[in-house]
Amino acid sequence: MEARVTFSPAGRSLFDEPLAIAVEGLQPQQQVTLRASLRDETGVLFESRALYQADSGGQLDLSRSPALEGGSFSGLEPMGPLWSLQPEKPFWRLVKRDVQRPYRLEVEVLGSCSQCLAKGAHERAFLRDGVRRIPVREGRIRATLFLPSGEGPFPGIIDISGTGGGLPEHRACLMANYGFAMLALAYYAYEDLPKDMKEFRLEYFEEAVNYMLKHPKIKGPGIGLLGHSKGGDLCVSMASFLTGITATATVNGSIANVGATLRYKNIVIPPLGISRKRAKIDQTGTADILDVLNNPLEGPNCQSLIPVEKAECHFLFIVGKDDRNWKSEFFATEASHRLQANGKEKPEIICYPGAGHYIEPPYFPLCPASMHLLVGLPVIWGGEPRAHAAAQVDAWQQLQTFFRKHLNDKQDGRQNKL
């Protein structure tokens, strides 16, 4: 019997879904290397290798067989071949740009002398059948709306990414697969939007909120906000100043305005000050920027604090305790203090030991370091691969639970405090 790689589901699955990988037809107790690989849309190869031993029947089931020491990971890790993928190009992060095209995952079983004993391929998709992808160019808004299958109306969420610019869609797309109407919102470095991060006007984001509130497929009366990194502090600003926000979740976000001046009507919030001298650069030229930002509680830096205490919505702060981009746990804790000191609801804070800055949907591989557009150098993001992978799985469920709990027709949108 020839060796054969099998997948369950067989030919295609969603990227954030578990995938069962097995091999049959090996020799009893045979030791093999399992090589998993995929290429991103720029052609960069990502690869992992794990060492395994078949059972007495020549079977290898990753849900029951622990990986041996010496590969990209070890132990019982059924999804290890995916979350341990590493790029051949240094300082490179796996970024999905075209959510309509699945990744092609290839798995090879290698014997002694790297002889290929079996191989198989599987598609990891981002769009569930029936989910609609709708480009939005209405007024100033540059975005993509993802509507779940069915008639709706659906709970609506605006998804805002970090400092990379453009229009990332992968997180919004995957969330829409679970019944949320998701608006992936660009805010700079895309089409006719500002080319760089110098100044943002909250009126642009207010326009996006109003678009969602008026959309016939969106269940009101309020919507949710989901932001990562810089997108997190933009979401906190929106929740603090705008109407119609019921629930806000940030992933390693800030409660100080960072990177660009923020304006809303007659209000100006300057960016939090920095000191590049506090960056630690190693022999490879990689920077640790954890201490670069000034303390927003000290002196004139207080002007950069977002008045989160004005917000009337529910909050969830997802925190990677090994976030090396900035002190996200400090920001979440300070937000909690300020909200409660002003009689507001205590936010949910979920901290993940060993998780770094880029907490993505499940099974995206950890990116330990990559180029930071604002710093101009590769920076370390933090995270230990196994712990980070587990955090991504749990955080993904926590986000869905949070929004399902609060985005129902009994919740009121907040009132403007200006």
Closest CA to 250 of 180, 310, 171: 171
Closest CA to 383 of 293, 329, 321, 305: 321
State the angle between helix axes of 230-241 and 202-214 in degrees (0 to 180), rounded to the nearest 10. Answer: 70
Measured CA to CA, the distance from residue 242 to residue 236 in angstroms comes to 10
Q: Is the pLDDT of residue 373 over 90?
A: no
Q: Is the pLDDT of residue 62 over 50?
A: yes
Structure tokens at 147: 């509507």
pLDDT band at 376 (very low <50, low <70, confident <90, very high): confident
Give the Å distances, CA to CA, from 172 to 24, 158, 304, 331.
37, 8, 29, 24
Contact 22, 118 (CB under 8 A): no
Write out the DSSP string of 276-324.
GGG-EE-TTS-EE-TT-BPPTTSGGGGGGB--GGG--SEEEEEEETT--
pTM score, whole prediction: 0.95
Altogether, the residues listed in the chain come to a count of 418
Measured CA to CA, the distance from residue 317 to residue 251 in angstroms comes to 6
pLDDT band at 410 (very low <50, low <70, confident <90, very high): very low
Q: What is the mean pLDDT of the chain?
A: 95
Measured CA to CA, the distance from residue 326 to residue 304 in angstroms comes to 15
By annotation, the residues acting in catalysis are 229, 323, 357
Can you give the pLDDT at residue 374? 84
Strands 103-110 and 86-87: unpaired
Write out the DSSP string of 254-281.
-SB--SSEEEETTEEEPPPPB-GGG-EE
pLDDT band at 349 (very low <50, low <70, confident <90, very high): very high
Q: Is the pLDDT of residue 409 over 70?
A: no
Q: Check residue 384 and report its DSSP letter.
A: -
Structure tokens at 413: 């949108």
Measured CA to CA, the distance from residue 418 to residue 416 in angstroms comes to 6
Average pLDDT over residues 225-254: 98
Please tell me whether residue 336 adopts helix, strand or coil conformation: helix
Measured CA to CA, the distance from residue 99 to residue 373 in angstroms comes to 23
